[in-house]
Structure 1
Amino acid sequence: MGHLYALDFDGVLCDSCGESSLSAVKAAKVRWPELFDGVDAAMEEWIADQMHMVRPVVETGYENVLLVRLLLEMRIPAIRKSLVAEGLNVEGILNSWSKIKPVIMEAWGEDRDALIDLFGKIRDEWMDTDLATWIDANRFYPGVSDALKFASSEIYIVTTKQSRFADALLRELAGVTIPPERIFGLGTGPKVEVLKQLQKKPEHRGLKLHFVEDRLATLKNVIKEPELDGWSLYLVNWGYNTSKERDEAANISRIEVIELSDFSKKLK
């Protein structure tokens, strides 16, 4: 029996937190220039450091831009436009982001699609002007590039990252070419719907299906769909999740928590 692996990108294959944090700071400075008057390099470095800690809450890239502003409001009370930031800390963001996000979006008068476009534009401009630096701000997890190159399984990428950025990193950083029709990025629909599409393809009949994620919430969404009962589900113990989430996943029978070395062996 052959195998098909549907792989999340950020947090499973690639540690993109450095790049996404820097891009988010650039985007926030464009979107809210008045808030960044007087913000020096030391403050920007502090924000980037904090972004590594809150990264587990991010489902779609534009949320990084919101987090940059929220962190700035937490640090500088004079610019606060939402009471949410008062008394908030990293743990509070990790525990309550799904409630915080709609509140600050409304308070700041922000639009999801506009932020997605801005975040993508900032990344495109960075890539156009200095591709090497953009690439270097990312890294693939140890062993992942070789695992992809020599995989005997059918490989698909299922991510909320815009496809062009995932493709560029696979080619330029990992040295891997995955056909564009096998990369399902932002705009291709919810991941549960992508998995349904994949399992219905005639060429996938008889394959054992595997879905690898670093977000527990996404795996829980799959479990809610009886149509997807045939998928083996994995939560990686690296990437952007917390020890609390890994402990919870370990007690869910459908989910296997895996090590990086196990993941590479599975693909090979």
Structure 2
Amino acid sequence: MGDLYALDFDGVICDSCGESSLSAVKAAKLRWPSLFEGMDSATEHWTVDQMYTVRPVVETGYENLLLVRLLLEMKVPSIRTSSVAEGLTVEGILENWSKIKPVIMEEWGESRDALIDLFGKVRDEWMENDLATWIGANRFYPGVPDALKFASSRIYIVTTKQSRFADALLRELAGVSIPPERIYGLGTGPKVEVLKQLQKKPEHEGLTLNFVEDRLATLKNVIKEHELDGWNLYLGDWGYNTTKEREEAANIPRIRMLGLSDFTKKLK
């Protein structure tokens, strides 16, 4: 009957870490200008470099702002306001982000919605003022644009990224047009709920259901939902995950590890 693929975007289709880190620094400068007073460019570059290492903890884009500020507080004692920054390491962030995040949100008096709005606004302005540079700060994983263009499977994008950014990148960078109703972005509900919606659509009856994700935590959430037992679950080993997470996934019977070349072949 054929296949349906629900694909995460960041870390499966697109390596957006460069763009999201730079956007987060731009947004952090607007949100907390005093942090950056007298900040040298070397410290700023260090922060962007470290963002590549801590990227696996990000579930939703606004968390990049929190990470930028936390990394700066770790590096520069004079601007430190959070109780967790002293002695914290990048490894510590990778291990304990789910515990650290609510603490710093409260200590800094931040709201999720306000940070989401700011992050989206900064990206919109960057795209409006200099689309080529914004596009250029992203890259698609090798072979993925062609695999999407020539896919014989039914493709859906299921992402925590705002839909307009995923759509712009697909069109401008990959030359791929995916109908907007097949892009489920931020605000369409948790991924487990989107998967439930997709499997209930009458036109999907008889299709083999596949979900490709780079976050182990998301796949574990799917496993908890018995209603979603019919999905094949794949963890992309080229995305934003750690060696430790890949080792854990290899021991979970429901999850299959997937390499990039096998992924592109499956779509075609």
**TM bucket normalised to smaller:** over 0.9
AA paired with 2:56?
Answer: P
AA paired with 1:50?
Answer: Q
Residues matched between the structures, number: 268
**Aligned equivalent of 1:28:** 28
Q: CA deviation at 1:42?
A: 1.3
**Aligned equivalent of 2:262:** 262
Q: CA deviation at 1:40?
A: 1.9
Whether 2:73 is the aligned partner of 1:89: answer no
**Aligned equivalent of 2:47:** 47
Distance 1:108 1:86 in 2: 15
Distance 1:100 1:258 in 2: 30
Give per-residue Cα distances to partners, 1:154-181, cap 9 Å, x unaligned.
Answer: 0000000000000000000010000000
**Aligned equivalent of 1:104:** 104
**Aligned equivalent of 2:220:** 220
Cα RMSD, aligned residues only:
0.4
**Aligned equivalent of 2:75:** 75
Q: CA deviation at 1:264?
A: 0.4
Distance 1:264 1:22 in 2: 28
Distance 1:82 1:15 in 2: 30
Q: CA deviation at 1:9?
A: 0.1
**TM, length-normalised to structure 1:** 1.00
**Aligned equivalent of 1:202:** 202
Which residues in structure 2 correspond to 1:105-124 (within 5 Å)?
Answer: 105-124=105-124
**Aligned equivalent of 1:183:** 183
Moved more, 76-85 or 185-194: 76-85
Q: CA deviation at 1:39?
A: 1.0
**Aligned equivalent of 1:11:** 11
Distance 1:16 1:216 in 2: 18
**Aligned equivalent of 1:230:** 230
Which residues in structure 2 correspond to 1:51-70 (within 5 Å)?
Answer: 51-70=51-70
Distance 2:142 2:123 in 1: 24
AA paired with 1:216?
Answer: L
**TM, length-normalised to structure 2:** 1.00
User: 3-state SS of the aligned residue for 2:68?
Assistant: helix
User: 3-state SS of the aligned residue for 1:132?
Assistant: helix
Distance 2:124 2:18 in 1: 16
AA paired with 2:174?
Answer: A
Moved over 2 A (4+): none
User: 3-state SS of the aligned residue for 2:173?
Assistant: helix
Distance 1:170 1:208 in 2: 24
Distance 1:157 1:82 in 2: 36
**Aligned equivalent of 1:153:** 153
AA paired with 2:150?
Answer: F
**Aligned equivalent of 1:141:** 141
Q: CA deviation at 1:144?
A: 0.3
AA paired with 1:187?
Answer: G
Distance 1:79 1:43 in 2: 13
Q: CA deviation at 1:83?
A: 1.4
Distance 2:40 2:126 in 1: 21
Q: CA deviation at 1:88?
A: 0.3
AA paired with 2:110?
Answer: E
Give per-residue Cα distances to partners, 1:106-160, cap 9 Å, x unaligned.
Answer: 0000000000000000000000000000000000000000000000000000000
